[in-house]
Structure 1
Amino acid sequence: MACNNDAIEYHTSLTSSVNETFDINLNETKQRFYDIKRDPHIEIVNFEAVIERRPTEIDETSLRVLKYKSPSFIATVTFRFPPIHSNECWKVGFVQACDFMLFQNQYGDLGYSSWEFPQLIVRDLSMINDSCGRNFPWYGSKNQVVTIQGPIYRQSEHTITMRDLFIPWIPWDIPTCEGEKSHLTHIYRHQRFYVWLCAMNCTNNELLIIRTIRWIQTIEIDVKPNLCRGIRAKLISNHEPEQPIFLKKNKFIPSCALQAPSANNAQLLVWRPTKGESAIVVNPKHHDNSTIKYLRLLNIDIR
């Protein structure tokens, strides 16, 4: 069985003791760019975003799968929030969305497998929320977002951090088999993301966009299946990844990027043989009209 074991890693050193007292309807969320003249003065003390400057690590120890671990994207911000003299509730945190993914694994002339988001392919959505899927729209629920409940009569300082990386398992054998034969010849992955630092007034359901980051990661691995494990795979993409960019002009968040489905729940794995019909190897956890539409295009039934 093929497994896309991509990881979302959480840091738990900062947690909030504030109970959730406001129900947020993301369909009705008002969204605008943060304006220091009209909004509470959120002072950014430090804001950094980086992709670790190291090559992707390849692990060939398994008899069944090749594993790799990409450099992590890490965003950290320290900010000071002004006093809140009312009973307002605020959240400040990161929202991440993926707007493109090409992730294909070639098995010589036998065919290739592909991890895909039907919603992006059929263009029903422009982006898809990339989070744990339990705390929309935020990337995570621990150190990626902080809740500030008024009244607080003094300025408060907070640090939030998010980390994202890829840790997939790619079968040596074609993904419709569970064997140990070596047929994998090439891996290519290119993904693009937006990350927003946002402040949400939970009392009036308003989302303020403070900064927008763009980051991209490309991983390409050549595999010689006839060689022994340990020397089969070679990273051929850039060993030092392209660094994130802080956009000069903020970008609004599409409503589809604020709510379900999350990327982990929407993705599916398709096997496309050179001869014969395509097959779903890993079904998506989330089924919607986009999924049905896409599988009809492929002439595949989903159960």
Structure 2
Amino acid sequence: MERGKLTWLPLNVAVFILTHDEINTSGRCCGFIDESSSVVLRYRTPHFRASARVLVPPVTAKETWTVGWIQACNHMEFYNKYGTKGMKHLNYFYTFQLCGAVLLIERSSWELPDLRDGKIQAISDSDGVNYPWYGNTTETCTIVGPTKKDTKFMVSMNDNFYPSVTWGVPVSDSNLPLLSSIRRDQSFTTWLVAINQATTETLVLQTIRWRMQLHIEVDPDKPLGQRATLREPVAQEQPHVLSKNDLIPTNAMVKPNANDAQVLMWRPKTGEPIVVIPPKY
């Protein structure tokens, strides 16, 4: 990537999703699924990791550049189903009595409303502090010019998820275990970027696309510690390093980030959806 006499060169970029080779079909042997709590099921997803060695020739001007990783979420489906035996048929629903009213059990879902409704194509996945960067430790490096010789450095990032899902219906005061299935399907774009701190000039050095999918089946009738089973996939699709860089959408550079914008919805089979946890911004 050239800018005048300055050539930014990613010497090599390594990206992969770490697979849990030790995971058996239950997923428990390396702490992937955690049923230690009687209130929530916790699970840890495989890690997406990216690293890049970058070479920058001498910077002759009095400029400050930051090089690092920017990430955005392009797609998110995250459903937690409640009912008997995983609700194998979409037209089937489970009913139970709560405060004299009958509720029809369907699912809760974490959603990004603007992304869901097609108002934006991507949303920032920044740490929420160091916008637009994914983080500000190993994820970035700052070069202060002028410099007299080549500058070589490495920037790396690591992303995974460690969520909690209630055993009981999230709009109920009851902790009766009814959780029967968890499904996730999320897509991300990650950019290796150089930004001039004074002018905000932005150079995209590399673009990566990756996806994380997950299906956990839960039998709420079994004893705690024996309910959840990892169904698919044990091995994730590996990331793709693009031969031609994508432009960075504006929403990937600014607030809010995905963690602050997401909402937890309760979507019953009949009736209006309920906001269980609103956005943080």
Shorter-chain TM-score above 0.5? yes
Whether the 8 Å CA contact 1:87–1:151 is kept in 2: the answer is yes
Q: What is the one-letter code of the residue matched to 1:236?
A: R
Mapping for residues 61-140 of structure 1, pairs under 5 Å = 61-108=36-83, 109=93, 110-140=105-135
Q: Residue 42 of structure 1 aligns with which residue?
A: 8
Whole-angstrom CA distance in 2 between matches of 1:196 and 1:178: 43
Whole-angstrom CA distance in 1 between matches of 2:197 and 2:213: 37
SS in 2 for 1:101: strand
Q: Residue 253 of structure 2 aligns with which residue?
A: 258
Q: Structure 1 residues 49, 100: closer, same or farther in 2, change over 3 A?
A: same
SS in 1 for 2:6: coil
Mapping for residues 272-283 of structure 1, pairs under 5 Å = 272-283=267-278
Task: Write out per-residue CA displacement over residues 152-181 of structure 1, whole angstroms, 9 at most, x where no aligned residue.
Answer: 212222111111101110000001135432
Whole-angstrom CA distance in 2 between matches of 1:45 and 1:253: 22
**What is the count of residue pairs matched by the alignment?**
252
Deviation at 1:121, TM superposition (A): 1.7
The structure with the greater share of residues assigned to strand is 2
Whether the 8 Å CA contact 1:114–1:270 is kept in 2: the answer is yes
Whether the 8 Å CA contact 2:2–2:8 is kept in 1: the answer is no
Whether the 8 Å CA contact 1:270–1:278 is kept in 2: the answer is yes
Q: Structure 1 residues 154, 219: closer, same or farther in 2, change over 3 A?
A: same
Whole-angstrom CA distance in 2 between matches of 1:177 and 1:39: 63
Whether the 8 Å CA contact 2:181–2:218 is kept in 1: the answer is yes
TM-score, normalization: structure 2? 0.86
Mapping for residues 206-285 of structure 1, pairs under 5 Å = 206-285=201-280
Deviation at 1:39, TM superposition (A): 5.4
Whether the 8 Å CA contact 1:84–1:150 is kept in 2: the answer is yes
TM-score, normalization: structure 1? 0.80
Whole-angstrom CA distance in 2 between matches of 1:251 and 1:43: 17
Q: Structure 1 residues 152, 35: closer, same or farther in 2, change over 3 A?
A: closer
RMSD: 1.5
Q: Structure 1 residues 39, 237: closer, same or farther in 2, change over 3 A?
A: farther
Task: Write out per-residue CA displacement over residues 95-119 of structure 1, whole angstroms, 9 at most, x where no aligned residue.
Answer: 1001100000000131100000011
Unaligned runs of 5+ in 1: 1-33, 287-303
Whole-angstrom CA distance in 2 between matches of 1:203 and 1:276: 52
Deviation at 1:276, TM superposition (A): 3.8
Whole-angstrom CA distance in 1 between matches of 2:265 and 2:5: 47
Whether the 8 Å CA contact 1:85–1:151 is kept in 2: the answer is yes
SS in 1 for 2:115: helix
Whole-angstrom CA distance in 2 between matches of 1:135 and 1:43: 24
SS in 2 for 1:120: helix
* 1:186 aligned residue (157, 171, 181): 181
Whether the 8 Å CA contact 1:115–1:267 is kept in 2: the answer is yes
Q: What is the one-letter code of the residue matched to 1:60?
A: E
Whole-angstrom CA distance in 2 between matches of 1:202 and 1:160: 18
Whether the 8 Å CA contact 2:9–2:205 is kept in 1: the answer is no
Whether the 8 Å CA contact 1:67–1:170 is kept in 2: the answer is yes
The range that moved more, 47-56 or 71-80, is 47-56
Deviation at 1:275, TM superposition (A): 4.1
Whole-angstrom CA distance in 2 between matches of 1:144 and 1:39: 26
Whole-angstrom CA distance in 2 between matches of 1:200 and 1:187: 39
Verify: 1:199 aligned to 2:165, yes or no: no
Q: Residue 13 of structure 1 aligns with which residue?
A: none
The range that moved more, 137-146 or 269-278, is 269-278
